[in-house]
């Protein structure tokens, strides 16, 4: 059994701080929680996933929107934030429709 270097609690699987090398319990593993001597290094880095945030896009997914006929697939694609899948989908659909229309029209003329 290992003891947390900060609070002294016994921990089965201690977390080792990558900045100071100490062994800490889950509560103390983050540099600010054990007064890490190298906390300045940690401050310069993006935060590790401290408790997963379900703030955005997690639980409440709006259902039953009135998008387009393809709303099912479009809604799934929209989970990727930042990429305008919906616009891309619409553009592709429009292009396909135009292509089909052109083929049909030319087909009628030829036939
Ligand atoms: Zn601790
Ligand atoms: Zn540390």
Where exactly are the structural domains of the chain?
2-44, 71-110
More confident residue, 61 or 36: 36
Tokens representing residue 68 in the block: 């387009």
pTM flag (> 0.85): no
Tokens linked to 8: 């002294």
* Angle 14-58-80 from CA coordinates, rounded to 5°: 105
Residue of 81 and 66 predicted with greater confidence? 81
Contact criterion met (CB below 8 Å) for 29 and 17: yes
- Compute the distance from residue 19 Cα to the ligand 2 centre, in Å: 5
**Using an 8 Å Cβ cutoff, are 74 and 67 in contact?**
yes
Task: Please report which confidence band the pLDDT of residue 50 belongs to, taking 50, 70 and 90 as the band edges.
Answer: low
Q: For 9-34, what is each residue's pLDDT tens digit? A: 999 999 999 999 999 999 999 999 99
Ligand showing the shortest atom-to-Cα distance for residue 27: 1
- Looking at residue 107, its pLDDT comes to 77
- Among the bound ligands, the one closest to the CA of 5: 1
Average pLDDT over residues 77-92: 80
3-state helix, strand, coil in the chain (%, to 5): 40, 5, 55
Q: How far is the CA of 14 from the centre of ligand 1 (A)?
A: 9
Ligand that lies nearest to the alpha carbon of residue 31, given by its number in the listed order: 2
User: Which residues sit with Cβ closer than 5 angstroms to ligand 1, an ion?
Assistant: 4, 6-7, 9, 25, 28
Q: Are 46 and 27 in contact (CB under 8 A)?
A: no
Token representation of residue 54: 């379900």
User: Counting ligands in written order, which one lies closest to the CA of residue 30?
Assistant: 2
């Amino acid at each position: 059994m290992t003891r947390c270097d900060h609070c002294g609690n016994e921990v089965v699987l201690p977390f080792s701080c990558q900045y100071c090398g100490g062994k800490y319990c889950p509560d103390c593993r983050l540099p600010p929680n054990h007064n890490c001597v190298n906390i300045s290094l940690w401050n310069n880095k993006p935060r590790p996933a401290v408790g997963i945030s379900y703030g955005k896009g997690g639980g409440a997914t709006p259902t039953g929107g009135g998008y387009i006929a393809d709303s099912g697939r479009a809604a799934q694609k929209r989970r990727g934030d930042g990429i305008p899948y919906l616009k891309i989908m619409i553009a592709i659909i429009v292009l396909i429709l135009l292509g089909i229309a052109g083929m049909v029209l030319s087909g009628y003329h030829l036939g």
